[in-house]
Structure 1
Amino acid sequence: MHPCFYIEVISGVLASAKVPDPANVHYPSCDSTEAEEAAILAQDYINAHHTRGYKYALNQIDEFKIIDKPDGQKTYLMELDLLDTTCHVLNPTPVANCTVRPKYETNIEADCDVVLNWDKGVLTVQAFKCKSKPESREFPCGGCVELLPLNDTSGLELVKVSVAAVNDKSTLPPERAYFDLLEVGRLSSQIVGGGPKILAEFVVVETNCTISDHDDSCAHGDHATASKIFCTSVQLPNEAATVECKDIVTADVAGLPQHHHHHDHQPHLKHHKMIALHDPHNTSLLSESGESAEVPKVRREAVLMLPLFPAATRGPAPVCPGKVRFF
């Protein structure tokens, strides 16, 4: 047998053998306090950069790894499962107090890879990457709410009628500001007696016009100061639409994410995709695949104070993934 063949065989065996993790790599429990604190920090950081649609809540910690660095710092690598809530991103309600959207409404799930850095008791989010999609159903669900594309004709017609109702001249003083559509958050349908029921969720924003003098030239008010209203509307077969609205009261408008107008929806998109944020120094620690081409230029650190020397677990890896918080 040719010597080169021996070399190729040996090389193949060595390449296929599992190389153990080095001593500086540790696997704390996915249900540990350390993992929980890091995951919540990552959740809040991701929500702070999600500029459309709804906030996401932590559902499960899939993987957790700590890498010790020679300079005493530590790199945290996490894989998280998140679920969308009914709180719009402009809603100041803490995620912990938001309701996770139930399965029958077709909730959105997100898989996120996160890189964090620990340095002298301070934990900082460095980079993240997320993929979001409507949760799949194992079995057909009669009567469940099904998502519609955000540019669905019937759904947008309902939004148009509903925005007109928000600016109803017959019930409001003529000097009140005219509110224009800022974003369509969600369109869906449900089969009921008589045909499909259409449901819409959207946000309107104060303009520089009044109800009595508005036209196509009206401009949206300043993002930080203009009043905003979150509305839900329902259109039953052969019935008039009903609209319910609630003012978005923001305690810290300066910290709110900037919004884009609603007309730039991609065809057939059924939810607002989560964005992928990459720190130039950490992209090699995240997988190459990305869900969205939107990469924001802003960098805003999330910081958490931790014990000066966090406990690092050595030996056999504890059971992961961690507990499921919702479903």
Structure 2
Amino acid sequence: MRSPVAPALLGLILGFCIANAAVLLDLLQTEFPACDDPETERMADFAVNHINAKNNHGYKFDINSIKMVKVLPRRPFGKVAFLELNLLETKCHVSNPLPVENCTIRPPTEHAVEGDCDVKLLIVDEGYKVLSSHCHSSEDSVEDVRRLCPDCPILSRLDDSKLKETANSGLAKFNAENVDGIHYQLLELSRGFSTHLPLGTHVEFAIAATNCSRQQAQDPAEHCHVVTDEHARNGFCKASVIHLPPVPVVDGEPKPPAEEVTLDCTLYDHQAGGSHFLEHYMHHLGKNIPSPGTGRRVLDLIHSHNDTHASHESHSAEVPAVVAAKPVVKRAVDLTVPISGIPPPVCPGRIRHFKI
């Protein structure tokens, strides 16, 4: 009598072979475009625009280099691209409607910040869709900044009380002088540092208009909150408080040390994209000023986004789709498959700005 084990074993072997044949076929169809190919750069630009649109804190980031890209077939249609990106912080806050390609990269002498992102991108006939993205960022080391520029200031911790005091002084000056008479509120403290010559503190922070006038904000009974409707307006400020040395008077008694507050603010109206940022910001955080985090010098680009194909399509209007994707040139198979005569992928790509 024939044992039932043999057919079952044969079925397992056939199933194993079929499954591994599909895996091998995918490996053989894996494409490794060059990191500096125009099509790879188009995918990377789309991914960075998505990351910046989803980020509600700190500054916009731009591409410094493309570290890796590979493209796999996707059943029943399309392809999936995996990208590793190295990003650099710009001087544009995320509330700034200026396109990232028009933003200035923050130089190393300003204690530069870099980010690293892994992005999974769906390539379909009509363009690209981001399926997932995972990012984090960190500032350059103090040693590297000192090596490059011994006298350049080092970023202070965001929970430093001097930074908050300087931001409040700058905001008070803005609220007292702004011509529209609207009371503005501090949204977040983004960067700051102290100097010794002259002795002072310098900060950058985001603000937003509230539902209160300047006069109403003086009344403790008023409950002022940020507005996100058609009257929404937000902005970004740089403030400095310089501590002036005491000046002796005629009788020889010195005056108490004086302070000089300087301020530079830019406002963005909702037509330019301000309300879009505020709606996202308030949706995630409510009406509370976010804690900057103990011991941190920068607001981390903590970005973790996962979406199914269907759910991402329902939100795809947040990040405009690019024009139809061009075919990605097939360069090589996965290097884990030992096939001789295949050139390795041309990655990582060029450094566009600087290495930190």
TM-score category (smaller protein):
0.7 to 0.9
Could you tell me which of 258, 261, 271 is aligned with 2:298? 271
Q: Is the 8 A contact 2:170 2:240 kept in 1?
A: no
The 2-side partners of 1:65 and 1:126 are apart by: 15
Q: For 2:299, what is the secondary structure of its paired residue?
A: coil
Determine which of 239, 243, 257 is the counterpart of 1:233: 239
Asked if 2 retains the 8 angstrom alpha-carbon contact of 1:143 and 1:191, the reply is no
For these two proteins, the number of residue pairs brought into alignment is 289
Unaligned runs of 5+ in 1: 1-18, 283-297
Q: Which residue of 2 aligns with 1:4?
A: none
**Further displaced range: 127-136 or 183-192:** 183-192
Bigger Rg, structure 1 or 2: 2
SS in 1 for 2:27: coil
The residue that corresponds to 2:7 in the other structure is none
1:105–1:144 contact (8 Å) kept in structure 2: yes
Q: Match of 2:263?
A: 243
Q: Residues 266 and 39 from structure 1, CA distance in 2 versus in 1: closer, same or farther, beyond 3 angstroms?
A: same
Identical amino acids, percent of aligned pairs: 29
Q: 1:115 to 1:172 in 2, by over 3 A?
A: closer
CA separation in 2, counterparts of 1:111 and 1:192? 35
Give the structure with the larger helix fraction.
Answer: 2
CA 1:21 to 1:188, structure 2 compared with 1: closer, same or farther past 3 Å?
farther
Aligned counterpart in structure 1 of residue 113 of structure 2, from 108, 117, 125 = 108
Superposed structure 1 runs of 4+ greater than 4 Å apart: 298-302
Structure 1 vs Structure 2 CA RMSD: 2.5
- 2:348 matched to which residue of 1? 321
Q: 1:79 to 1:203 in 2, by over 3 A?
A: same
Of 14, 18, 29, the residue aligned with 1:24 is 29
Conservation of the 8 A alpha-carbon contact between 1:207 and 1:218: no
Corresponding residue for 1:127? 132
Q: TM-score, normalised by structure 1?
A: 0.80
The alpha carbon displacement at 1:63 in A equals: 0.4
Unaligned ranges ≥5, structure 2: 1-23, 245-258, 333-341
CA distance in 2, matches of 1:240, 1:119: 57
Scaled by the length of structure 2, the TM-score of the pair is 0.74
Task: Give the deviation of 1:307 after TM superposition.
Answer: 4.3
CA distance in 1, matches of 2:79, 2:178: 58
1:65-80 correspondence runs (5 A)? 65-80=70-85
What secondary structure does 2:53 align onto? Answer: helix
SS of alignment partner, residue 258 of structure 1: helix
For the residue of structure 1 that corresponds to 2:72, the secondary structure is strand
**1-structure distance, mates of 2:71, 2:225:** 46
For the pair 1:255 / 2:276, whether they are aligned, the reply is yes
